[in-house]
Amino acid sequence: MAKLNVNGKPLDVKVDDDTPLLWVLREQLGMTGTKYGCGVAQCGACSVHLNGEVQRSCAIPVGSLQATNKIVTIEGLSRDGSHPVQKAWATVDVPQCGYCQSGQIMAAAALLKKTPKPTDTDIDAAMTNICRCGTYQRIRAAVHLAAKGGGKSGASTAQKKA
Amino acid sequence: MTSQSTTLRTPKVSRRKVLAGGAALGTGLALGFHVPALAKAPEGFRPMAKAAGTEVNAWVVVGTDETVTIRIARTEMGQGTLTGLAQLVAEELNCDWKKVRTEYPTPGQNLARKRVWHDFSTGGSRGIRGSQDYVRKGGAMAREMLIQAAATQWKVPVAECKAVGGAVVHEASKRKLTYGKLAVAASKLEPPKDVKLKDPKDWTIAGKPLKRLDTTDKLTGKQLYGVDIKLPGMLNAAIKDAPVIGTPVKSYDESKVLSMPGVKKVVKVNATTVAVVAETWWQAKKALDALPVVYEDTPNAKVTSADIAARLREGLDAKEAFVGNKNGDALAAIAGAAKKVEAIYATPFLHHACMEPMNATALVTANKCEVWSPTQNGEGSLAAASEASGLPLDKCEVYKMPPGGGFGRRGRQDYVTQAVTIAKQMPGTPIKLIWSREEDMMHGYNRPITQCKLTAGLDAQGNLVGFHARISGPSIVAYQNPSVLQGGGDIRMFQGFWADPGEAQIGYTIPNLLVEHAQRATHVPVGPWRGVNTNQNAVYLECFMDEVAKAAGKDPLAFRRALMGNHPKHLGVLNAVAEKAGWGKPLPAGVHRGIAQHMGYGSYSAAVAEVSVDNRGRVKVHRMVLGVDCGVAVNPDQIAAQVEGSVALGLGAAMYQELTVKDGKVVETNFDTYEIMRLAAFPRVETVVVQSGGFWGGVGEPTICVAAPSVLNAIHAAIGRPVRSLPLKNVDLRSA
Ligand code: FES
Ligand code: FES
């Protein structure tokens, strides 16, 4: 039995303590936006925010978490895709297959929270998730765009950040 | 403005509208079914062609709300084909792009309608070039029928009516009827026998860098992939094929795991494979890891990479080989040449490593087999489902899930066969099979390992008078589909060396030429990997060309140009990248250029790379300019995206990747040992889309093959010696 706080909701989950948070999110909680790519903390497809820091949820046994740990998943980043990172991603048309993108977006959101105006070097250091489709150039552009507060969700309506 | 931006701006409204109209939206199909905040597959989640509205023809459904749903037969796996095909149909249809939706018909629907949607298979960069003609005709015919319907209603000649932006107008009387109001009448008309397709120069939707149609859900976690399926009563399966490839299971002791939490069943899937079925996948995987399995002894267990290399090496000088291209007498010309250049190159086995591991979900009952399949070949999945379930094709159905990467791997149906085989043993229970990353890495269909011996002869003036290439290694066709070998040989081994124009022609005219292949199979399964043999062949040909140019004392670009007079399209794209990259212009200290060109998949590609190598031998790729001439460009921004992606895959492989074999097993079982290129290493990539027109070439694969050789040639320029084996991580690149 684990007590979790996911996207602002306290939850009780009946599950073995050694189950990785990734699989609890996906299987017990039905939040499938967080993806399995490697299971060994290499690819970042499973990235979530844990107390505001980006973490690879495949490497976090659920038993190591407490109800005070605040977990945010892609489903909780914004209600409707209006987070500045999501908007920038849409403007730059980043995704190809899209499978890695939840993780990329969570990593970028965490980076921008800490470093609102990242340099290319900051981006190199922070954005270490694998994208097998090779969307890296657009990821870099979209991070810069989000940092500038850009990223319109409509071509004719320059929206303010949500 | 695109529908993408529209849906983002008003996500709730559009979603509600979709629900109200009952319309399904292709890859965004899941949209209408989403439970807010959670991407749960609802009960009865069966994505198929079922958009609300009137089907004007198989490709076009028009709703009373003026939405136009375009049916897409090919698989979207990231390569942008879905958007490109929709652009082509919408262009001919003269509809409002903002109203366009898409959906996949199922393979079962295609079968029931006598393959009205043609081929579903998505490989060989054929998604657009292979279907552009009939999908454009589908759009044009629907347009003509809508015009006819309006003309009939107004009792005016058809020639006085025209279709603009989703409506038919009669200018003389200033009348206008939208497609939504005409669709029912139009659908009852006889389709026109023939239609004239637009000249691409008149396009307003196709040919434009429009945003993708399938982005929104990929930004919020709502996009449902195969691994995300959840069906009522579903159980999960984890699977293990023999680590020593091809080794039968002798025994396993299921009593050790049956009492573990959640475990329901242990299943022997085939001679070499066992699976555990449990409530959750994590429980299944834990039990599978704990399951004692004993395997038979096979000779495969003795094979190592060194054995494979030796076997290939023997093929380089073996007497027998299959000739792929020949003119003049290369061996005599080289023997009599003033100067001889010789080199042996080698490239390793490579794995696809799609981000989403292989998976499929199956539900089998006494008289029906359903499969949710992330596949590049929906009809292949249908055939596999029928075979594994023992049910006829018309009792089977496949719901195509958007694959999290394909790159050729998902043309195989092994995971579908497995899922159905397991589900058949538990009738009425949906089974979701997911491979672990380790399983995925150990049981791929890998890019073939090959070696190549190249020999060239130069005359006293440094002209190339003879060229001989002998490739040695396994053939994909011989492994997967031996019945189509031509005269015992696999002509695809020679991609980019072909004499024939149109698909994969060599871009050089050489007076005496011989290209051959000695087939040397191994026990490691092989399959098409994005770009297939163009990858290895472009490294061999283009890196060796630089060696020969150097021996001739000539600039690599000038040396190539002199051989390309009869190949204007190859030359055109080479010149385009050379110009854009500023070939010959000064570079910052320590930075060097390399160039390469090649042809595959009906398109011409070239690249220039700017590279530095530091005194510890570390490579930095600063900038790459890649060009592709695919004849007609359907979406230049998506072409650029494919070019960028091809650099990540092709260059990443050249830098870090090899699949090696020890004791018959794959050694690299996860990303800690099979390193993938990450953002920091990705160079600045500039894409030049050359549109010489008049032909339709592929886009997904053509440029990948020039990524590695352009960088290798720049490294050669930097350190003064060629690199002849990959990956680079194994090569000492320090300057001598
Ligand atoms: S799945 Fe967690 S890092 Fe790859
Ligand atoms: S978009 Fe496909 S893996 Fe990143």
pLDDT in tens, B700-715: 999 999 999 999 999 9
B355 C-beta closer than 6 A to ligand 2 = yes
A45 C-beta closer than 6 A to ligand 1 = yes
B196 — contact with chain A (CB < 8 Å)?
Answer: no
Q: What are phi and psi of A2, to 5 degrees?
A: -125, 145
Q: How far, in Å, CA of B429 to CA of B234, rounded?
A: 6
pLDDT by residue (tens digit) across B559-615?
999 999 999 999 999 999 999 999 999 999 999 999 999 999 999 999 999 999 999
Instruction: For ligand 1, atom 3, name the residue with the nearest CA.
Output: A41
Beta strand A70-72 pairing with A47-50 = antiparallel
The continuous run of DSSP H or E covering B410 comes out as: none
pLDDT by residue (tens digit) across B291-307?
999 999 999 999 999 99
A20 C-beta closer than 6 A to ligand 1 = no
Cβ A32–B4 below 8 Å, yes or no? no
Residue pair B2/B46 in contact by the 8 Å Cβ criterion: no
Q: What Rg do the C-alpha atoms of chain B give, in angstroms?
A: 27
- Closest chain A C-alpha to B335 CA, distance in angstroms: 45
> In this predicted structure, what is the pLDDT of residue B44?
67
pLDDT at B26 over 80: no
Partner residues linked to B57 by β-bridges: B60
B42 pLDDT band, cuts 50/70/90, is low
* Nearest beta carbon to residue A89 from set B40, B217, B219: B219
Residue pair B526/B438 in contact by the 8 Å Cβ criterion: no
Identify all chain B residues contacting A107, using CB atoms and an 8 Å cutoff: none
Residue of A nearest to B685 (CA): A137
* List of residues 6+ apart from B72 with CB closer than 8 A: B26, B81, B82, B85, B86, B102, B103, B104
The alpha carbon dihedral of B34, B36, B37, B42 has a sign of negative
> In this predicted structure, what is the pLDDT of residue B25?
31
The DSSP letter of residue B496 is: T
| Angle, helix B414-424 to helix B378-389, in steps of 10 degrees | 30
Q: How far, in Å, CA of A55 to CA of B340, rounded?
A: 57
Amino acid at B281: W
Percent of chain A whose predicted confidence (pLDDT) is above 70: 93
* Nearest beta carbon to residue B404 from set A74, A97, A135: A97
* Nearest beta carbon to residue A23 from set B11, B281, B405: B281
| Angle, helix A136-147 to helix A101-114, in steps of 10 degrees | 40
DSSP line for B243-308 = SBTTPPEEEE-GGGTTTSTTEEEEEEEETTEEEEEESSHHHHHHHHHH--EEE---GGGG--HHHH
The alpha carbon dihedral of A117, A121, A127, A131 has a sign of positive
> Residues 480 to 509 of B: which have CB under 8 A from any A CB?
none
Average pLDDT over residues B308-318: 98
* List of residues 6+ apart from B286 with CB closer than 8 A: B260
Average pLDDT over residues A39-62: 98
pLDDT at B15 over 70: no
Identify all chain A residues contacting B225, using CB atoms and an 8 Å cutoff: 32, 35, 99
Q: What Rg do the C-alpha atoms of chain A give, in angstroms?
A: 16
* List of residues 6+ apart from B36 with CB closer than 8 A: none
> In this predicted structure, what is the pLDDT of residue B691?
93
CATH code at B226-297+358-434: 3.30.365.10
- Closest chain A C-alpha to B683 CA, distance in angstroms: 8
pLDDT at B480 over 90: yes
Q: How far, in Å, CA of A134 to CA of B160, rounded?
A: 50
DSSP line for B381-394 = HHHHHHHHHT--GG
pLDDT by residue (tens digit) across B173-185?
999 999 999 999 9
What is the residue whose two structure tokens read 């209603």?
B153
pLDDT at A162 over 90: no
> In this predicted structure, what is the pLDDT of residue B736?
67
pLDDT at B32 over 50: no
* Nearest beta carbon to residue B671 from set A19, A80, A130: A130
> In this predicted structure, what is the pLDDT of residue B488?
81
Cβ A74–B679 below 8 Å, yes or no? no
Torsion on CA atoms B13, B14, B16, B20, rounded to nearest 10: 130
> Residues 202 to 221 of B: which have CB under 8 A from any A CB?
211-212, 214-221
- Considering the domain delimited by B305-350+446-730, tell me its CATH architecture: 2-Layer Sandwich (3.30)
B735 pLDDT band, cuts 50/70/90, is confident
pLDDT at B727 over 90: yes
pLDDT by residue (tens digit) across A126-157?
999 999 999 999 999 999 999 998 776 533 33
Q: How far, in Å, CA of B564 to CA of B72, rounded?
A: 39
> In this predicted structure, what is the pLDDT of residue B29?
30
Output the CA angle B330-B333-B339, nearest 5 degrees.
120
Q: How far, in Å, CA of B722 to CA of B733, rounded?
A: 10
Please give the span between the terminal C-alpha atoms of chain A, in angstroms, as a whole number.
Answer: 36
Cis peptide before B727 (omega within 30 of 0): yes
Q: Which of B163, B273, B127 is nearest to B638 (CA)?
A: B127
> In this predicted structure, what is the pLDDT of residue B38?
43
Q: How far, in Å, CA of B453 to CA of B424, rounded?
A: 50
Average pLDDT over residues B316-342: 98
Q: Which two tokens stand for residue B386?
A: 């029928």
B289 — contact with chain A (CB < 8 Å)?
Answer: no
B78 C-beta closer than 6 A to ligand 2 = yes
CATH code at B15-218: 3.30.365.10
User: Which of A6, A16, A93 is best to mutate for the B interface (most B CBs within 10 A)?
Assistant: A93
Residue-range domain boundaries for chain B: 15-218, 226-297+358-434, 305-350+446-730
Residue of A nearest to B434 (CA): A36
Residue pair A2/A17 in contact by the 8 Å Cβ criterion: yes
A133 C-beta closer than 6 A to ligand 2 = yes
Residue pair B423/B431 in contact by the 8 Å Cβ criterion: yes
Average pLDDT over residues B449-470: 98
> In this predicted structure, what is the pLDDT of residue A1?
81
**Range of lowest pLDDT (B15-24, B152-161, B466-475):** B15-24
Percent of chain B whose predicted confidence (pLDDT) is above 90: 93
> In this predicted structure, what is the pLDDT of residue B484?
87
> In this predicted structure, what is the pLDDT of residue B43?
55
Q: Walk me through the domains of chain A, giving residue ranges and CATH numbers.
A: 2-77 (3.10.20.30), 84-151 (1.10.150.120)
Topology agreement, domain B226-297+358-434 and domain B305-350+446-730 = yes
DSSP line for B185-242 = HHHTSPPPS--PPPPGGG-SSTTS-PPPSS-GGGTTT-PPPGGG---TT-EEEEEEE-
Average pLDDT over residues B675-681: 98
Cβ A135–B641 below 8 Å, yes or no? yes
pLDDT by residue (tens digit) across B249-286?
999 999 999 999 999 999 999 999 999 999 999 999 99
